[in-house]
Amino acid sequence: MKQKWKMKQKLKLLAKKEILYYLVTLIVLALIMHFDLLSDPLARIEAMKEKGNYFHPFIYSFVVYSVMLVLRIIIDLISKIFEKRAVK
């Protein structure tokens, strides 16, 4: 029972960490693509309402996040391989 609880805690922590990575990616990309968000955010929101493109920031961020996730996994696997060889 205790082992299940620990596993749930690890999964919750991992999910929170990944959500944070996604949100940071979303914010950084939004500021890079639309630098006027810092000076006049209401004008940017109005332009988004007029054009009806509500979901494109989330889609672009998900694509960039996915690429970063794959790269992180590959780097993690490579580092584990080198750690195993260093131990021997």
Indicate the pTM of the whole model: 0.81
- Number of separate domains in the chain: 1
Q: Which domain, by its residues, includes 53?
A: 2-87
User: What's the pLDDT at 22?
Assistant: 97
Q: For residue 10, is pLDDT > 90?
A: yes
CA atoms within 13 A on the CB side of 6: 3
User: What's the pLDDT at 24?
Assistant: 97
> Among the listed ranges 9-13, 20-24, 27-31, 38-42, which one has the minimum average pLDDT value?
38-42
Q: What digits encode the pLDDT tens for the residues 30-49? A: 999 988 888 988 988 888 88
CA atoms within 13 A on the CB side of 30: 19
